[in-house]
Structure 1
Amino acid sequence: MTTSRYMSGFGNSFETEALPDALPVGRNSPQQANYGLYAEQLSGSAFTAPRGTNERSWLYRIRPSVKHTTRFTTVEAPLLRSAPNPGQSKLPIGQYRWGPVAIPLEKLTFTTGLFTVTTAGDAEAQSGMAAHLLFVTASMTNEYFCNADGEFLVVAQQGGLRFRTEFGVIEIEPGEICVIPRGVIFRVELMNGASRAYVCENYGGSFTLPERGPIGANCLANSRDFLTPVAAYEDRDQPSTVYFKWCGELFKTEIGQSPLDVVAWHGNYAPYKYDLRRFSPVGAIAFDHPDPSIYTVLTSPSETSGTANIDFVIFPERWAVAENTFRPPWYHRNIMSEFMGLVYGVYDAKPEGFVPGGMSLHNMMLPHGPDAAAFEHASTVELKPHKIANTLAFMFESRFPQKLTRYSSELSSRDDGYVDCWSDLKRRFAR
């Protein structure tokens, strides 16, 4: 019989131990914990947050995380940026698209392989986000990462990644995501060759499941499909380096052991993974095209009800059946800024030019929609039930404008002819 490496459910309070009786019973911080472990609490919310939104976990570890052998020192990371990030791009506002960026040949770990594309809001004010490309060509060895600025949502696009965290091990492949909460220490390893991924860094409130409203109790992302790792500790005394991202800067400190030494833990603040292919889409079954918000997997709420700090939205395989309807997304302008990527397949509103590994940016109030060819096809095709198959696109959508970095502004894969995809839209008005 094989024991699962994951526990099922979203937002649950879990408990897991790698050794019997490592978890205290009836108290969080006993005078003497079993096995000589240290009790340590990791809080993702204020201590006094309401019970329904209070996030914390108790970790029982071989050494407390405060034990390190050197003071923090600054690390140069010119391509890893945080908001606010003014003056990086000299490009004017506009609709932008990039082809896939080739995976570099040099050695890149998670720490050195993050390249920031956009920033929005203010990391120190704990609002907004950043969108990064991640290239990993080498596993981290005796190196670890911790982000104090926000949580990481990682969308695998090419190759698999293994995240060894304080809470256990998570593995993702293209079509899957993982979320590493703010303050969690982890190490990233390759699974099957070099990897490319998209990363959303969320400075605001933790990602949660959106309310379903009139949809009811089922569909969209179901909590049972989210997987949280079981305890798996490393008892290793080796010189190691921990990198900390803090207020937009990168620092490091040296320690004499693996920081992934948590033997047992309990609580509701932990990393998790989700297979996007398990998303259950709903849509129009008579007429009209539904708002893209109907495909929201996770949301980071803001203080304004119904207006997200970030929505993580996907466009998965689904059936199109609406009658007498323009089925692709309509032309629109809105207050949200949309960073979009394609994991695999073809996106129905941009069948040409938007390819797997590529990305686009449509900022707040800038018009966008299907290209001329997609419009012509959708306006004249015989409408039959049609399956949009073998496709997975996504959006990091924020209420904040997303500003380009110098890196993304100067990418050679930037499609300077992107706006021309609308130039063939004809005048169709007839009285």
Structure 2
Amino acid sequence: MYRADGRQRVWLRVGERFYLSGFGNEFSSEDPRCPGPTPHLLSNCTPQTTPVCPYGLYAEQLSGSAFTCPRPTNKRSWLYRILPSVRHKPYTAMHCGNLTEKWDEVEPDPNQLRWMPFTIPKSSEKKVDFVTGLHTLCGAGDTKSRNGIGIHMFTCNTSMVDRCFNNSDGDFLIVPQQGEVLITTEFGKMMVEPNEICVIQQGMRFSVDVFGETRGYVLEVYGAHFELPDLGPIGANGLANPRDFLTPVAWYEDREVATGYTVINKYQGKLFSSQQVFSPFNVVAWHGNYTPYKYNLENFMVINCVAFDHADPSIFTVLTAKSTRPGVAMADFVIFPPRWGVADHTFRPPYYHRNCMSEFMGLIKGHYEAKEEGFQPGGGSLHSMMTPHGPDRDCFEKSSTAPLKPERVAEGTMAFMFESSFSMAVTKWGLETCQRLDKSYYQCWEPLRKHFDPNWRPSKQ
């Protein structure tokens, strides 16, 4: 197989194929280089069914939930490895860079905040991979009590070489914005391009290859896993459908690393590293329901208003991480994809609003309808709890006078929102160090003028 630009894609010989993920259903996969004497011999064996695994492999279970969770929410996978992951040197602390859980390092700021596109370091000046390129922008909660979230940016220009990352604190929802990323996991490989997302769940080891200057967003949740939102009156179909979530095919690497392979572990908000002499991606087969997965945002089935008035933006929810309070999410991943606007007697753009949730918005491509100029791909905005926000003056004036004919909205655009019930704190890097904060953001609402007329009467038609 070959890429469009002619580069041979041999490293995706196996991982280019995917199995469907059913969110709770079990799946299995074997590297075809080691087929069992009978179909799925490897991926169907456990220490309970055989004392010795085929091919002399080790059986290792990865649990993403408590053993005693109800069956519908119990998450675990069996991995059949050449060597178990327990064989490594002790962990030692390492420099965390701008990855942090210090939510009180600067004073709280309730203002509307907007960042210009975050700078990607030039490879000619400094080599930066995915881990060293992680920067925490804002967040809340605590990894020790397993209740909270973090929002990070990643900006990098080089691949991870003989290094992998493991998050003991929570799940990573990764949103590439510029440049495709090849993510090698213990379960196989995934190529994730802009307008796609992937989720690497707690405890899964992965490495990231890039092909130039790369940038994206990360939503991290502690204490819950992402799942599909309930559809309620929508019914059986709509929004993100389970059939469109894809998991990788098993792919193993039997490679010794004489100079040492580095396993980086994010634990209680800090980074630690350990050394081992073999590749951690030595899983020949796996089965279970606890896997990494990816999703193409173009597959989202948009539900929208077709009469009048607004539906709440929750109709655009792709994934949710629920809290213990019914109907209240630790974090929702929401998108605003291309769609038709047809509502009558309605101000169609997002309305002026104050909210008991925190809203971080990012832009993958295009122009967001409510702020077409200042909000740019690779940047972001944060509207904190009960902080007013809404369309800028140009959007308001244009949409108030435009004829209400059916029109395409957000054509060529993909904006998204990380919405959370937590009151998020912005880091020192986000407010000061990154130097991308747009201090003039508030001015986009300054030109809004008064239209009030006490003598107004409805026009006769």
Q: Which residue of 1 aligns with 2:18?
A: 6
Query: Does structure 1 residue 393 correspond to structure 2 residue 415?
Result: yes
Q: Using a 3 Å threshold, how does the CA distance of structure 1 residues 25 and 347 change in structure 2: closer, same or farther?
A: closer
Of residues 5-14 and 319-328 in structure 1, the stretch that sits farther from structure 2 once superposed is: 5-14
* Structure 2 residue matching 1:379: 3-state secondary structure: helix
Query: Does structure 1 residue 116 correspond to structure 2 residue 136?
Result: yes
Aligned runs of 1:39-78 on 2, under 5 Å?
39-68=59-88, 70-78=89-97
Aligned pair partner of 1:257 in 248, 259, 278: 278
Query: Does structure 1 residue 272 correspond to structure 2 residue 270?
Result: no
TM-score for both structures, normalised by structure 2: 0.90
Q: Which residue of 2 aligns with 1:143?
A: 163
Query: Does structure 1 residue 427 correspond to structure 2 residue 450?
Result: yes
Q: Which residue of 2 aligns with 1:16?
A: 29
CA contact (8 A) 1:152 1:179 kept: yes
**Structure 2 CA distance, aligned partners of 1:248 and 1:26?**
36
Query: Does structure 1 residue 129 correspond to structure 2 residue 159?
Result: no
For each residue in 1:184-242, what CA deviation from the matched residue of structure 2 results, as whole angstroms up to 9, or x when unmatched? 0111101x322101111111310000011111111210111110001001100112010
Seq. identity, %: 51
- The letter for the 1-side match of 2:115 is W
Superposition deviation, residue 76 in structure 1: 1.1
- The letter for the 2-side match of 1:420 is Q
- The letter for the 1-side match of 2:214 is S
Superposition deviation, residue 296 in structure 1: 0.1
**Structure 1 CA distance, aligned partners of 2:423 and 2:179?**
31
- The letter for the 2-side match of 1:230 is V
Query: Does structure 1 residue 241 correspond to structure 2 residue 262?
Result: yes
Superposition deviation, residue 26 in structure 1: 5.8
**Structure 1 CA distance, aligned partners of 2:45 and 2:261?**
35
**Structure 2 CA distance, aligned partners of 1:137 and 1:343?**
18
**Structure 1 CA distance, aligned partners of 2:327 and 2:107?**
33
- The letter for the 2-side match of 1:59 is L
Unpaired runs of 5+ residues, structure 2, are 2-12, 455-461
**Structure 2 CA distance, aligned partners of 1:261 and 1:381?**
59
CA contact (8 A) 1:143 1:241 kept: yes
CA contact (8 A) 2:120 2:214 kept: yes
**Structure 1 CA distance, aligned partners of 2:431 and 2:281?**
38
Q: Using a 3 Å threshold, how does the CA distance of structure 1 residues 160 and 153 change in structure 2: closer, same or farther?
A: same
For each residue in 1:3-41, what CA deviation from the matched residue of structure 2 results, as whole angstroms up to 9, or x when unmatched? 752111331310111121251546454210001100100
Aligned pair partner of 1:319 in 340, 347, 350: 340
Aligned runs of 1:119-198 on 2, under 5 Å?
119-190=139-210, 192-198=211-217
Q: Which residue of 2 aligns with 1:207?
A: 226
**Structure 1 CA distance, aligned partners of 2:429 and 2:22?**
35
Q: Using a 3 Å threshold, how does the CA distance of structure 1 residues 199 and 26 change in structure 2: closer, same or farther?
A: closer
Aligned pair partner of 1:331 in 338, 343, 352: 352
Unpaired runs of 5+ residues, structure 1, are none
Q: Which residue of 1 aligns with 2:8?
A: none
- The letter for the 1-side match of 2:378 is G
Q: Which residue of 2 aligns with 1:413?
A: 436
CA contact (8 A) 2:97 2:132 kept: no
* Structure 2 residue matching 1:311: 3-state secondary structure: strand
Superposition deviation, residue 102 in structure 1: 1.8
Alpha-carbon RMSD: 1.4
Q: Which residue of 2 aligns with 1:228?
A: 247
Aligned pair partner of 1:368 in 389, 403, 421: 389
Of residues 266-275 and 421-430 in structure 1, the stretch that sits farther from structure 2 once superposed is: 421-430
* Structure 1 residue matching 2:422: 3-state secondary structure: coil
TM-score for both structures, normalised by structure 1: 0.97
* Structure 1 residue matching 2:206: 3-state secondary structure: strand
- The letter for the 2-side match of 1:289 is H
CA contact (8 A) 1:24 1:34 kept: no
- The letter for the 1-side match of 2:113 is Y
Q: Which has the larger radius of gyration?
A: 2
**Structure 1 CA distance, aligned partners of 2:385 and 2:108?**
16
